[in-house]
Homo-oligomer: A and B are copies of this chain.
Amino acid sequence: MIKGHGDDRYQFNLPVKADFSSNVWYAGLQKGLEDELRNKINEVIHYPDPGAWKLQAKLEQYLSLSADTVMVTNGGTEAIYLIAQAFTGATVTIVEPTFAEYEDACKLYKHQVQFLSWEKLNSETSFSTDMVFICNPNNPTGQAIDEHILEQLITQNKHTVFVLDEAYIQFTHDTASMIPFLKRLPNLLVLRSLTKSCCIPGLRLGYIAGRKQLLDRVRVYKMPWSVNAMAITAGEYILDHPTEFEVKRDTLLEETYQLWEGIRKMPEFKVMPTHTHYFLFETLTGTAAALKMWLLEQHGLLIRDASNFYGLGPGHCRVACQQADDNKLLITALRKWTLS
């Protein structure tokens, strides 16, 4: 079970004024969705559809995919664990630094895990393992790899199953979803989240898209009713109102740049480049753990101590862009940290 992650405010009895610690879209709960959830609260007196089959069909239609090529999951996490389980004992490459759950799930299911640095990933990379986990755009670095490079990579490594986590695909201009490529890539599983861009991580809703034959291998391990009734309700509402849930990327990435630039100007921090609305920086004075607690206690600001990501060090922090005023609070607080 995960120790050390974003959005961990439940661990502290301290007020949080602004939360930079998770990569969820900052816009809050969309009004129409909020009303829908409120109006349908009474549906929790019924069991949910055991396999979320209606939502699955709706997603397949929305994504122009054929029947049984989507599986709705209890967040992206259930997708990761089910895939790891379906390939128990496989050899796996994880492109790092990245989300710790790939490694945790693979180790639980006795995979032989090896790591490849994100920087070394290109269209010529050759894989000898049964599976590869790639997060695109990557968490926690915000780096993105072009979809056509990925296509070449997946085509050239026919005997490797690629698990491509696109939880943050709506938050970048620099790559696109591989879902339209599924028809010609039988060795690809795409993970998507319906919660990051719609700001409902508490409901737990994600899905896997992939060839029926490959997905059926995963489906065997899925227990009934893993996706709750409110998550299904939300998923249906989102698909019925897709334009209302489009992330305002231009504004978001411009604000991210302002925040990034604000931190970059302080020589006490080393800021990493990003293609998305979150990024890494390293504090060169003190540790990420100390900085996180100081920001929370002194300023009510929550960031992600990213030192526990494989490949990162004790000074690494991750922040996701918030509203402009909140971003300013963080910059001001970090300036105080450099003077303290």
Contact = CB atoms under 8 A, between A and B. Distances in A.
Interface of A: 1-2, 5-7, 9-10, 22, 24, 28-29, 34, 37-38, 41-51, 54, 74-75, 77-78, 80-81, 101, 105, 108, 199-204, 219-226, 228-231
B228 A203 contact: yes
B7 A46 contact: yes
Given A1-B50, A1-B51, A101-B224, A44 B74 contact: no
A220 B22 CA distance: 25
A45 B45 CA distance: 23
A101 B226 CA distance: 13
A172 to B, nearest CB: 22
Contacts of A220: 108
A51 B1 CA distance: 8
Given A202-B229, A229-B203, A224 B44 contact: no
Contacts of A219: 1
Contact of A223 (B5, B81, B225): B81
Contacts of A230: 44, 202-203, 228, 230
20 contacts: A2-B50, A2-B224, A5-B47, A5-B224, A7-B46, A10-B54, A22-B47, A28-B45, A29-B42, A34-B41, A37-B41, A37-B44, A44-B203, A48-B202, A74-B228, A77-B225, A101-B224, A108-B220, A202-B228, A204-B225
A219 B219 CA distance: 22
Contacts of A225: 74-75, 77, 204
A51 to B, nearest CB: 5
Contacts of A199: 45
A309 to B, nearest CB: 16
